[in-house]
């Protein structure tokens, strides 16, 4: 007896259709799974045998052959358990219902419970593309799946429910479509807590408004970490498309919970400096996304930047330019997107006081150079804004005046983003930092004075072509915050001023 049941598989972020074919024939009792299954898939035999027993169904005394088609694509994980289970029931004629248009994804446990799996979102998105009408998913994954419109999602708690549904004894009802609520800004960390530091705050506002990378340098206790941790309170909300893209990555990494089935806020990832290259950029035998990809459409904050392994940091160079990480393995090549804002924070030397206006640095000169050289020239070049976080003045700390709140800063950020949205309509560009080189001249017009200043800055600072592009984009953002269509001299001046720290610290 032959039967076929549809399932879905996952390779990186890409889902693919899998047909679970079963042939039950007379012969030596055996249970074989073929079609390039990995160990986890092979072990599904034992889980399914036990699950059938728990439903008081005895395993057929026959030769049971399961083929996972297409046979030349590697199948991994426990995602096909539910489909194999259904195929056996069909093969044994235990259920009569035609399974056309239905797909099954989920792990089965020994007692017949259906357990949550990773990567449901991209698989359901593919199901919709393929015109599959109904997808049966673990109940724990149901909310995540029902974000996708146009497919009936059935939440399954255990194998018994499945059997009763397909025997028309007790029908499951499709889940309601889930529309995520608009993300609220209920951050506990607010820029109002940071006293003084006007220049650093302005720079971070520019970074948030245009999606630029920023590097904070300053002595210990000057408030670098404090400032960076308040960035989520001024970042613009995710669009629905961005939310889906980001959620896909979190879905395959198993980071979603029934309470947060979809990521609605820009991610803020701040890995510790002991992180490995694979942890930061992605890797493993079945390559998983790294922190850069988990921060996709959001912010990656690397605190104590100079303490990271130099090689690990260098790995970021290519992803920061291409906005994707490609990992090649024998089983194939996987690409994960990583459109991120990178914020770094560091001290200028091991003791932390190099360049401090009042305290003397006690580090030997070569130690300072060695410390700073952990950030290579090319990596430094990728930071659009270099922010010097000066020690807080006593007057600022003791002042009774109120500091500007995140809500007020956010208003200006949103206004600048609205201008960008209008400008980039239909181009696929999300913010100024993502302007492609071919559109740079057209989208960043400068008046004559601005152009003259830019030329001077370029010659004087000995800028690279990349730095020129980046200063122009930052000028674009400053002009947007200012509500100016044309980039003027003062905008270029402000942008260039945030590019000068490398000369103070790295030039010697
Ligand atoms: N501008 C400020 N306004 C109010 N409090 C501040 C300010 N700067 C620093 N602080 C206080 O100092 C603490 C330490 O600041 P933070 O951790 O941000 O310093 P840092 O610059 O990251 O230092 P390090 O270089 O040692 O990492 C904060 O938790 C806060 O209590
Ligand atoms: Mg710090």
Say how far apart CA 486 and CA 47 lie, in whole Å: 66
Q: How far does the centroid of ligand 2 lie from the alpha carbon of residue 270, in Å?
A: 12
Q: How far does the centroid of ligand 2 lie from the alpha carbon of residue 306, in Å?
A: 12
Q: Does the bond joining 312 to the residue before it have cis omega, within 30 degrees of 0?
A: no
pTM exceeds 0.95, yes or no = no
Query: What strands, in cross-sheet order, belong to the sheet with 299-303?
Result: 268-269, 299-303, 341-346, 214-218, 385-389
Candidates 501, 490, 443, 439; CA nearest to 467 is: 501
Atom 8 of ligand 1: nearest residue by CA position = 223
Q: CATH top-level class for 191-426?
A: alpha beta
Candidates 225, 503, 502, 231; CA nearest to 389 is: 225
Q: How far does the centroid of ligand 2 lie from the alpha carbon of residue 382, in Å?
A: 21
Candidates 214, 234, 235, 210; CA nearest to 476 is: 210
Q: Which helix (H) or strand (E) holds 236?
A: none
162 in Cβ contact with 85 (< 8 Å): yes
- Residue 482's pLDDT is 93
User: For the chain, what are the domain ranges?
Assistant: 2-166, 191-426
Q: How far does the centroid of ligand 2 lie from the alpha carbon of residue 304, in Å?
A: 7
- Residue 477's pLDDT is 96
Say how far apart CA 161 and CA 71 lie, in whole Å: 30
- Residue 31's pLDDT is 85
Candidates 301, 298, 226, 292; CA nearest to 265 is: 298
Q: Is the CB of 378 under 6 A from ligand 1?
A: no
Say how far apart CA 68 and CA 75 lie, in whole Å: 8
Q: How far does the centroid of ligand 1 lie from the alpha carbon of residue 395, in Å?
A: 16
- Residue 266's pLDDT is 93
Q: Which mutation among 226, 396, 401 tests ligand 1's pocket best, with the greatest number of atoms within 8 A of CB?
A: 226
Q: Which fold has domain 2-166?
A: Ribosomal Protein S5; domain 2 (3.30.230)
- Residue 340's pLDDT is 96
Q: What is the pLDDT of residues 398-446, one digit of tens each?
A: 777 888 999 999 999 999 999 999 999 988 899 999 999 999 999 999 9
Instruction: Give the residues of the chain that fall short of pLDDT 50.
Output: none
- By three-state DSSP, how is residue 378 classified? helix
Residue 392 CA: nearest ligand 1 atom is 1
Q: What is the pLDDT of residues 283-295, one digit of tens each?
A: 888 789 999 999 9
Residue 226 CA: nearest ligand 1 atom is 18
Residue 389 CA: nearest ligand 1 atom is 21
């Amino acid at each position: 007896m032959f039967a076929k049941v549809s399932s879905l598989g996952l390779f990186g972020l890409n889902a693919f259709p899998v047909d679970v074919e079963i042939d039950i024939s007379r012969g030596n009792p055996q249970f074989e799974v073929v079609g390039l299954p990995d160990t986890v898939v092979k072990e599904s035999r034992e889980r399914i045998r036990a699950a059938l027993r728990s439903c008081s169904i005895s395993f057929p005394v026959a030769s049971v052959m399961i083929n996972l088609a297409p046979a030349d694509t590697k199948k991994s994980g426990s995602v096909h358990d539910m489909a194999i289970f259904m195929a056996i029931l069909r093969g044994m004629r235990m259920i009569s219902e035609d399974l056309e248009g239905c797909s099954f994804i989920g792990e089965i446990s020994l007692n017949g419970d259906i357990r949550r799996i990773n990567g449901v979102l991209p698989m359901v998105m593919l199901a919709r593309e393929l015109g599959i009408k109904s997808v049966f998913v673990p109940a724990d994954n149901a909310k995540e799946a029902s974000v996708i419109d146009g497919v009936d999602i059935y939440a399954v708690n255990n194998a018994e429910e499945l059997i009763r549904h397909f025997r028309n004894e007790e029908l499951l009802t499709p889940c309601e479509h889930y529309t995520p609520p608009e993300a609220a800004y209920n951050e506990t960390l607010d820029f109002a807590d940071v006293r003084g530091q006007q220049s650093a705050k302005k720079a971070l506002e520019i970074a948030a408004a245009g999606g630029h990378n920023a590097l904070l340098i300053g002595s210990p206790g000057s408030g670098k970490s404090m400032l960076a941790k308040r960035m989520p309170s001024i970042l613009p909300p995710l669009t629905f498309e961005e939310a889906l893209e980001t959620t896909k990555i979190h879905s395959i990494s198993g980071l979603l919970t029934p309470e947060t089935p979809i990521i609605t806020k820009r991610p803020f990832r701040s890995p510790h400096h002991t992180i490995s290259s694979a942890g930061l950029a992605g890797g493993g035998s079945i390559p998983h996304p790294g922190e850069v990809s988990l921060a996709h459409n959001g912010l990656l904050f690397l605190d104590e930047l100079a303490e990271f392994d130099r090689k690990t940091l260098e790995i970021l160079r290519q992803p920061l330019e291409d906005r994707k990480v490609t990992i090649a393995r024998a089983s194939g090549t996987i690409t994960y997107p990583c459109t991120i804002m990178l914020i770094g924070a560091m001290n200028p030397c091991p003791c932390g006081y190099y360049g401090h206006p009042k305290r003397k640095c006690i580090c030997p000169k070569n130690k300072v150079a060695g410390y700073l050289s952990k950030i290579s020239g090319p990596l430094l070049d990728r930071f659009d804004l270099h922010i010097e976080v000066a020690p807080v003045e006593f007057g600022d700390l003791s002042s009774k005046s109120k500091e500007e709140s995140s809500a007020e800063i956010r208003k200006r950020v949103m206004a600048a983003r609205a201008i960008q949205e209008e400008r980039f309509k239909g181009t696929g560009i999300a913010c100024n930092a993502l302007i492609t080189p071919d559109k740079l001249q057209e989208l960043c017009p400068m008046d004559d004075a601005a152009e003259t200043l830019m030329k001077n800055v370029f010659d004087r600072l000995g800028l690279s072509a990349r730095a020129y592009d980046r200063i122009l984009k930052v000028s674009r953002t400053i002009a947007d915050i200012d509500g100016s269509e044309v980039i003027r001299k003062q905008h270029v001046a402000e942008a260039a001023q945030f590019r000068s720290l490398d000369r103070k610290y790295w030039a010697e």
